Structure 1
Amino acid sequence: MESTVPAYKRNVDKKLSIYKGSTLNNLPEEFENFENITKTLDKKYRDVRGEKYWGLKIAVVVLTIVTAMAMYQGMKIANDFEIYKMDSDKRFDELKKDFRAEYLLLKTKSENDLESMKNNVQSDKDNLIKVIESQNEKIFELSGWFKASNNLFYKGFSEKVEYQTARNRCQQLGARLISTGFRDPAVRREIIPKICIRNIRIWIGLNDIEREGIWVWSDGEILTNIRSIPWRNGEPNNDGNEDCGEYLWRTTDDGVNDTECYSHCAYACEKAFS
């Protein structure tokens, strides 16, 4: 029998039945399941944050504390090192100052000691030279040399020789024919009695061999004032060829005379001690 339900009603029922059989019909249940999932996830999130995984949290806290302590210790070490470095620099500067002061003190002391030593050595050397000179002077005196007030030594020789021979004999002794002491009146008066024999002529270091009238002493001095020495009366007269000077010591009319250089006279030498 054909249904008496109208066609539009049948379409509505069909659509309604389709709706009832669809998943939309289960929406409240699915919403409830979604809520449960959300709650589960939130619970797990809270567990991770600290409720269940407390060990991880402690580890994080410990790591944070250890890191902070390490940073603090590092800063403390750096600060201590800086303080130590500043103290070391200060001590090093003080040591440098002390060392420099000690060095300067030691240097000054060493220089003073060296100077004192040099002075002592020089003093000892001077004293030794004086002793040697004194001993040599005594030896000279024992050998017939006389030390005059001008610190030169004089000795007369009785051997009668020509002028050139007398000059050579003095030179062999490291001396010269008397000249320096003879020019000085005070020294001349001092040495004549020591080196001369009365009435015996001696050669002195005076001649005009190179140029007539230009009298030269054996020490190189030129006799500029002819009357500055005691010539005998009327001398020098160059009687013939008289180019060498002799001295005669006697009571009257003593003095210097020019005579031939080949004459034979005694002689006197003059020597500086060295």
Structure 2
Amino acid sequence: MVSPGIVVSVLLLVSTVTANKLDFLLKFLAETERDEASLRYLQERQEVTTEHTVYGPLCIAVSYKLFLNPLSWEEARQACEDDGGMLAIIRDQTVHQFIKDYITEAKLKSSIAQNGKGLWIGLNDKEEEGRYVWVDGEVLDSDDPDTYAPWADGEPNNNEKKDSNGQDCVQLWKSRDFAFDDAYCENVVDKGYICQYTECDPTCAKCA
């Protein structure tokens, strides 16, 4: 069962389209009357249950939920799987930017700052230092210039000050505009997390 917390559902197009993918997304939202006041729209769609508050969804194809209740990376990975998804995979600047824009518009930064100062995503180098692997098994190829890997300045650094095992799990770091950052996986600072779901939400008005 997913732990109590705030959940935000955002559905994004992750297939490769044109160079103006973000413009396409915003145009789509405008055409469906969802960009003028997205926050108001989300609040109107708010559902309150005994477990969590859900905002959304904004619909295109693939859904992401932002859970703000802090967990360790492994607990977050398990929570996503228990909820029918996986920790988020962000291989594309458009998806990354759209999530960041949504966090800003939904005014979630202060809540994230109070819950671990970041959001776990599905990337780690727990098995081999420096070899980052997504939860779907694909290796992040840092040597490939086409690989999307927006690390914060000076990261990853595998800091061992608070844990001799180093930092093996990746977050979107609030303090660095939600850039990638390696962080301690557990027993130091728990964080919120982002789950990814492969199926379009059935409440969506339109799915690509």
Whole-angstrom distance in 2 between the partners of 1:187 and 1:148: 13
Q: CA deviation at 1:191?
A: 2.2
SS in 1 for 2:65: strand
Whole-angstrom distance in 1 between the partners of 2:85 and 2:197: 4
Residues 1:223 and 2:140 aligned together: yes
**Matching residue of 1:193:** 101
**Matching residue of 2:66:** 156
* Alignment size in residue pairs: 132
Structure 1 residue ranges, 4+ long, deviating more than 6 angstroms after superposition: none
Whole-angstrom distance in 2 between the partners of 1:154 and 1:215: 21
Whole-angstrom distance in 2 between the partners of 1:208 and 1:233: 18
Give the AA of the match of 2:198: A
Matches within 5 A, 1:71-150: 143-144=54-55, 146-147=57-58, 149=60
Whole-angstrom distance in 1 between the partners of 2:191 and 2:181: 12
Structure with larger RCO (C-alpha < 8 A, sep 6+): 2
Q: CA deviation at 1:248?
A: 1.8
Residues 1:208 and 2:125 aligned together: yes
Give the AA of the match of 2:55: G
Unaligned runs of 5+ in 1: 1-139
- Structure ranking higher in strand proportion: 2
Normalising to structure 2: TM-score of the pair? 0.56
- Identity over the aligned pairs, expressed in percent? 32
Question: What is the RMSD of the two structures over their aligned residues, measured on CA atoms?
Answer: 2.6
Unaligned runs of 5+ in 2: 1-44, 48-53, 161-165, 201-208
Contact 2:155 2:181 in 1 (8 A): yes
Contact 1:152 1:270 in 2 (8 A): yes
Whole-angstrom distance in 2 between the partners of 1:162 and 1:217: 17
Matches within 5 A, 1:177-192: 177-179=87-89, 182-192=90-100
Q: CA deviation at 1:228?
A: 2.8
Q: CA deviation at 1:148?
A: 5.8
**Matching residue of 1:70:** none
- Structure ranking higher in helix proportion: 1
Normalising to structure 1: TM-score of the pair? 0.43
Residue 266 (structure 1) aligned to one of 177, 180, 192 = 192
Find the structure with the greater CA-based Rg.
1
